[in-house]
Structure 1
């Protein structure tokens, strides 16, 4: 069941602390367009099915990425697409949008999405994976 557009944007606006829904919408469109270029097949289709239709279409017709971007470069690319953004504000944008997308997707699908992405995206989705046994928080 797809998350409703209003609910999705309200959550993005709340997490990103945007003064307007228009800013939340712009961040969501940019981030999901970039994310869509990194996902393939069933996983992309499944995620799209759980997003509001407007954002599902953006995910399914993404901006083309020549190569999978590292989490850091994904944030930089987002900054380049959002007028007036800095890497710091873009990291905020990405985190707000992807954490809401993860909520819409649910844990299992989010895990499958993360498997298709380079390391480091778990933090952007607000789902830090403690995969390294020697790693302490």
Structure 2
């Protein structure tokens, strides 16, 4: 069952501590367009089915990625797509959007998504793996 757009954006807005829903929407669009370029096949289709229609369409018609971006480069690319963003604010945007996306997807699908991505994305999704550095703590902006 797909999450409703308002519920999705409310959660992104809350996690990202955005003052307006339009800022949450802008972050969600940029992050999901980049994510869609990294996912293929059933995993991408299944995730789209769990997202609000607006965001499902963005995920299914992604920006073309010449190569899979590392987690760090994914954050940099997000910064380039969001007007006025820095790498720090983009990391925050990515974390807010992808953690809500992971909640919508559920644990099993999120594991499938992470298998299609280069190492390091587990942190961006708010799903650190057991192998992750225990010293890591996300920086709040």
TM-score category (smaller protein)? over 0.9
* Deviation (angstroms), 1:130: 1.0
CA distance in 2, matches of 1:89, 1:77: 12
Q: Deviations over 1:55-89 (max 9, x none)?
A: 00000000011100000000000000000000000
- TM-score normalised over the length of structure 1: 0.96
For structure 2, the residue ranges without an aligned partner over 5 or more in a row are 136-141
Question: Matched residue pairs, number?
Answer: 135
Which residue in 1 is equivalent to 2:85?
85
Q: Deviations over 1:15-40 (max 9, x none)?
A: 00000000000000000000000000
* Deviation (angstroms), 1:136: 4.6
- TM-score normalised over the length of structure 2: 0.94
For structure 1, the residue ranges without an aligned partner over 5 or more in a row are none
CA distance in 1, matches of 2:86, 2:134: 30
Correspondence 1:131 to 2:131: yes
Ranges of 4+ aligned residues in structure 1 off by more than 3 Å: none
Correspondence 1:21 to 2:21: yes
Correspondence 1:113 to 2:109: no
Q: Secondary structure in 1 aligned to 2:95?
A: helix
